[in-house]
Amino acid sequence: MSLSKELQTLKEYRCDDRCVLSVYLNTNPGDPEQLNGAWRIHLKSGLKRIDEYLTASNDEKEMKAFNELRKKVEKEVEDNKNDLSKGVVIFAAADPELWSVHYVQVPVKTSFHWEDHPVTEEMEYMYKAYPEAGIILPSFGEVRILDTAMGAVIDEATYVFDPNLEGWGKKGKKDENETLTGSTRDDAIEPRLRENLQRFYKGMGEIIGKLKKERGWQEIHVSGEADLANAFAETLREKPASCIYKNLNNSKPNDVIHQVFEK
């Protein structure tokens, strides 16, 4: 399910009594307030405040439902402590069952909510700033594609131009430690190969159009050397949300996202 559809499903969720725990937790290791795993303290204290409130209200049904979800949330975050990004967003309920977890690479303001519906406003704001988007990195020898949502890479593939086959071959997901190949200097490309390259750029433009529909991209961003970025952008049916004149082909996914969305 795409993130936009999931958000819509969350907005439509309701229960008769308060039964939904919404957690926004800042886990950004680069935040001075998160030194030495301070997120653990914030998670514990935030959940404790809700527990104290429910204890004072003396509603046994809500207390039981909350305590079950509290344990589940604490276990989820603790089990993934070594893979935390900038933030964690969790929506949880027991009846009807709801379990929606998002580890995001965007800033998150810590907050906790116990309501009869998921508190999605902050999530919607983050989604608006970092929607599902395709980031396209064209170069002379390849086109690298990042499928992203909420500032995180969902999938990645690289299409390499093979001058012998005169076609594109899908290279697959790139290892972060791997050095990309196929970058050939413009002045070294023979006229025949240059024509083929331009023709296959057009073919890649059609592939991008299909991926946009399949992946539910709200935006497409293109980044590369000026002439290549402009040439590739012209093959797209819709004008890209941004066209950045910078070669990021050898950059790590998170660095690419930072350059594109936080420029």
How far is the C-alpha of 230 from the C-alpha of 245, rounded, in Å?
Answer: 9
Closest by CA to 45, choosing from 83, 82, 74, 68, is: 74
Same domain, 139 and 252: yes
Give the chain's domain count.
Answer: 2
**In this predicted structure, what is the pLDDT of residue 87?**
92
Predicted confidence (pLDDT) at residue 260 exceeds the cutoff of 50: yes
What value does the mean pLDDT take over residues 194-217? 85
Q: Residue 29 has what pLDDT?
A: 82
CATH number, domain at 226?
Answer: 3.30.420.60
Last residue of a domain, one of 100, 129, 158: 129
Query: Nearest 10 degrees: CA dihedral of 217, 261, 171, 240?
Result: 50
- Does 176 have pLDDT greater than 60? no
**Tokens 């064209």, residue?**
138
DSSP code string of 145-194: EEEEETTEEEEEEEEEEETTTTEEEEEESPPTTPPP-----GGGS-HHHH
**Domain interval for residue 14:** 3-129
- Rounded to an integer, what is the distance from CA 166 to the centroid of its chain? 34
* pLDDT higher than threshold 50 for residue 119: yes
CB atoms inside a 10 Å sphere around CB 55: 11
Average pLDDT value over all residues in the chain: 86
List beta partners, residue 251: none
pTM of the model: 0.74
Q: Last residue of some domain: 129, 148, 173?
A: 129
Pair 122, 190 in one domain: no
- Of the pLDDT bands very low, low, confident and very high (cuts 50, 70, 90), residue 190 is low
